[in-house]
Amino acid sequence: MPSKKIEDLIRPDVWDIKEYIPIEPPEVLGKAHGMAPERIIKLDGNENPYGPSPRVAEALARCQSFPFYPDPGQQELRRLIQGYIGIDARYIFGGSGSDEIIDLILRATISPGDKIIDCPPTFGMYRFSTEVCGGGVVDVPRDDRYQIDLERVLEVIDDRTKIIFLASPNNPTGTLMPLEIVPELLKTGLLVVLDEAYYEFSGKTMIHEALQHENLIVLRTFSKWAGLAGLRVGYGVMQESISRHLWKIKPPYNVNVAALEAVQATLSDIPYLRTNVEKIKAERERMYSALEDLDFLKPFPSEANFVFCLLTRGRGLAVRDALREKGIFVRYFETPLTRNAIRISVGRPEDTDAVMRALQDIGKEL
């Protein structure tokens, strides 16, 4: 038998895939940067600074289900989500984070050579998961205000285009999409994936439209408003003509037992979580105003739990690094499409105070 080099077994297109740059948890950041994890001010992942409902830890401590595989049909999970969003459980599909649902949608639709439309700057997983499937990404950059260029989106569609991905509010810009755009896109007959990961901060949704349109999928997550990013649970609302294929191809036990317990505890404590969402929104506005006063940043109004700032002086990477030296972690962007920017997640008031003090100092050195 001719012996093969291990590299030859890897798909040629996988060789070329650029890895997604993920964020890391405090313990890993602490180790990498020689800091105690509890000293880190983590404003890089749009996570919830107040964490989950205290009922989550109590429920996990009591849970007796850990030795058993979770329900592959997610019946209890979907029943609970039905109660939260007021949409029948048969339209609900759960995932290990909405990341997994993005991946499954693409795996069910994209053959090598098929394409998606992406509107950068936006969430990187749409591009990444498409490339993993051997699909192509057609970029339609957002305009100066980071809004969708609808005309251009309609122009670039061809017979290999399958999906249009839209996030509203958009990550990293925090921009809400005018909802009138969606009906125009639905008319194309392509699959429209509307990602509402930050819905609870914006209050604007089209989730009920997914019941009227077979080609609309709306995604939500428990990672942001409910503080469950570490337990990985998201969901999609879509019609059964699509979901039946996702049910077939999903890993059977994709939403784990702890995640289900956590969702149950979360949804029994919605007023507590809403109070935290309101605190985050108020803090977002306070941080936005303070950022406006800095002479080297131009913050964009945000409907999510982060603020995107273009730099008018200096470089995003340099500001990210200078903040990191002070134990403050943010995300930076430096591509032609994102321009030169940083994104700061909204933390507690003391986190805003720390990041503002640090930015004032850094601004003097730029």
Ligand X SMILES: Cc1ncc(COP(=O)(O)O)c(C=O)c1O
306-311 sheet: strands from edge to edge: 297-299, 306-311, 339-345, 331-335
Q: Is 223 in the site for ligand X (CB under 6 A)?
A: yes
Residue 198 CB, shortest distance to ligand X, in Å, is: 7
Residue 20 CB, shortest distance to ligand X, in Å, is: 11
Q: Is 276 in the site for ligand X (CB under 6 A)?
A: no
Helix (H, G, I), strand (E, B) or coil at 95: strand
In contact, 202 and 169? CB cutoff 8 Å: yes
Biggest CA pair distance of the chain = 70
Residue 48 CB, shortest distance to ligand X, in Å, is: 11
Sign of torsion over alpha carbons 258, 203, 332, 17:
positive
Residue with tokens 């090598």: 112
Binding mask 83-112 for ligand X (x = CB under 6 A): --------------xxx-------------
In whole angstroms, give the CA distance from residue 270 to residue 359.
35
Residue 329 CB, shortest distance to ligand X, in Å, is: 15
In contact, 95 and 238? CB cutoff 8 Å: no
Q: Is 229 in the site for ligand X (CB under 6 A)?
A: yes
- Tell me the number of residues near ligand X by CB under 6 A: 13
Binding mask 138-177 for ligand X (x = CB under 6 A): -----------------------------x---x------
Using Cβ positions, the residue closest to ligand X within the complex turns out to be: 97
Q: Which of 91, 93, 123, 165 binds ligand X (CB under 6 A)?
A: 123
Between β-strands 297-299 and 306-311, what pairing exists: parallel, antiparallel or unpaired? antiparallel
Interacting residue ranges for ligand X, rule: CB under 6 A: 46, 97-99, 123, 167, 171, 195, 197, 221, 223, 229, 234
